[in-house]
């Protein structure tokens, strides 16, 4: 990837290249939400740990590998967002910063659409357009596939409202609906030659090995634990540095 060549060049000679910028476009997982609470009013209150999510961890890892490059990772995640919202704010939140590489991670909120067929079609269209606009700006794009959601409602999920969300998420996961969205994202990426950091496939492998993947969610519904954010980083770096 051009991004890797620029990274190496700036690390070797800091005056030779402008600063390297990566932008991460996504939802609450990208944003750094690890837990979710419900106020007496019924409003959701997210618990943020921005230094523990994968954009921050990616920045630290790349700067360990190439300290001279002094990489900047822009977190353009928004809790509760979907591919439609990402497309709408792409110019303002991402392309205006002239990034070298844009990581795109949507699907969890999109997949909760009560009409899976229409939802998948709209999602693939949005993701294709996001990739098209990123590439048209001169930046490189990479699809980051999402993590699993819960497959059952664990005991850590308390309160009728959150348990209802968990039940809906488990149905989407167990019925293969989220998998359909991931496959649509992969297809959108394939059409435009966009590389894929396939975190979802890693979660599938863990499930197939008998791992309780729901236990790897910090809120018991859809937000991976701090440690599981490293899986995103591993997949992004592996794909970026792939020969």
Task: Tell me the pLDDT tens digit for each residue of 176-198.
Answer: 999 999 999 999 999 999 999 99
What would the mean pLDDT of 162-183 be, rounded to a whole number? 98
> What is residue 44's predicted lDDT score, i.e. its pLDDT?
87
> What is residue 154's predicted lDDT score, i.e. its pLDDT?
97
What would the mean pLDDT of 19-41 be, rounded to a whole number? 95
Q: Which of 226, 204, 112 is nearest to 164 (CA)?
A: 112
Q: Which of 61, 85, 84 is nearest to 71 (CA)?
A: 61
pTM of the model: 0.97
Q: Which of 53, 140, 143, 31 is nearest to 95 (CA)?
A: 140
Residue 82 has pLDDT above 60, yes or no: yes
Q: Architecture of 2-240 per CATH?
A: 3-Layer(aba) Sandwich (3.40)
pLDDT tens per residue across span 8-29: 999 999 998 899 999 999 999 9
Q: How confident is the model at residue 243 (pLDDT cuts 50, 70, 90)?
A: low
What average pLDDT does the structure give for the chain? Answer: 97
Q: Which residues contact 50 (CB under 8 A, 6 or more apart)?
A: 31, 32, 56, 75
Domain range annotation of the chain: 2-240
The Cα 200–Cα 238 span in angstroms is 14
The 3-class SS string of the chain reads CHHHHHHHHHHHCCCCCCCCEEEEEECHHHHCEEEEEECCCCCEEEEECCCCCHHHHHHHHHHHHCHHHCCEEEEEECCCCCHHHHHHCHHHHCHHHCCCEEEEECCCCHHHCCCHHHHHHHHHHHHHHHHHHHHHCCCEEEEECCCCCCCCCCCCCCCHHHHHHHHHHHHHHHCCHHHHHHHHHHHHHHHCCCCEECHHHHHHHHHHCCCCHHHHECCCCCCECCCCHHHHHHHHHHHHCCC
């Amino acid at each position: 990837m051009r991004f890797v060549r620029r990274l190496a060049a700036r690390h070797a000679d800091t005056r030779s290249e402008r600063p390297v910028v990566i932008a991460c476009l996504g939802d609450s997982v990208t944003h750094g939400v690890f837990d979710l609470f419900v106020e007496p009013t019924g409003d959701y209150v997210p618990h943020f740990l921005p230094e523990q999510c994968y954009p921050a961890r990616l920045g630290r890892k790349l700067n360990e590998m190439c300290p001279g490059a002094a990489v900047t990772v822009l977190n353009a995640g928004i809790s509760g967002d979907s591919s439609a919202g990402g497309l709408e704010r792409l110019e303002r939140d991402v392309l205006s910063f002239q990034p070298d590489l844009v990581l795109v991670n949507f699907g969890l909120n999109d997949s909760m659409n009560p009409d899976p067929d229409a939802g998948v079609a709209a999602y693939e269209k949005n993701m294709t357009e996001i990739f098209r606009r990123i590439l048209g700006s001169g930046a490189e794009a990479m699809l980051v596939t999402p993590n699993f959601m819960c497959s059952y409602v664990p005991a850590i999920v308390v309160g009728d409202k959150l348990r209802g969300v968990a039940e809906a998420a488990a149905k989407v996961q167990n019925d293969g609906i989220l998998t359909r969205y991931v496959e649509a994202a992969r297809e959108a990426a394939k059409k435009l030659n966009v590389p894929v950091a396939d975190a979802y496939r890693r979660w599938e492998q863990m499930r197939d090995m008998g791992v309780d993947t729901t236990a790897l969610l910090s809120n018991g519904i859809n937000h991976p634990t701090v440690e599981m954010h490293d899986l995103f980083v591993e997949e992004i770096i592996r794909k970026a540095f792939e020969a």
